[in-house]
Structure 1
């Protein structure tokens, strides 16, 4: 039950961060980006890997632009950051 509340809190925090101006999204967005894999692994351990795969799909859908940015940075490209 605690996992459910942590996941709900994470979703509401992500929505709240998304409503912030872009320059104020970085710090809380990175914290949420780092917390998501931990929650997804916990979901996988408690609920099964099919549910974890659905959670991963939802996470990738919500964070597709930051993930594209990180992948471009890892490839050595210089992606543009919106202001």
Structure 2
């Protein structure tokens, strides 16, 4: 197992544990931290293990942090339809 894959597994476990804890802001602050850590980690994972593993990890990360992805999609749709 490569270091990047092990770190990605730790990131997934941390995301699950953080999601189980109560939050005042609906977990948005935690989501920003996870995104900030996850994007460079995803690049490292893709570099070490190839694009298919990176794509699988991207989909898994989007599945874990689905609400930021949903809001990003709504924002993009609004901007595209407006312009």
What TM-score do the two structures reach when normalised by structure 2?
0.73
Q: How does 1:1-83 map to 2 (within 5 A)?
A: 1-23=2-24, 25-73=27-75
CA contact (8 A) 1:40 1:56 kept: yes
More helix by percentage: 2
Change over 3 Å in CA distance of 1:7–1:22 after alignment to 2: same
RMSD: 2.1
Work out which structure has the larger RCO, using CA pairs closer than 8 Å and 6 or more positions apart in sequence. 2
What TM-score do the two structures reach when normalised by structure 1?
0.73
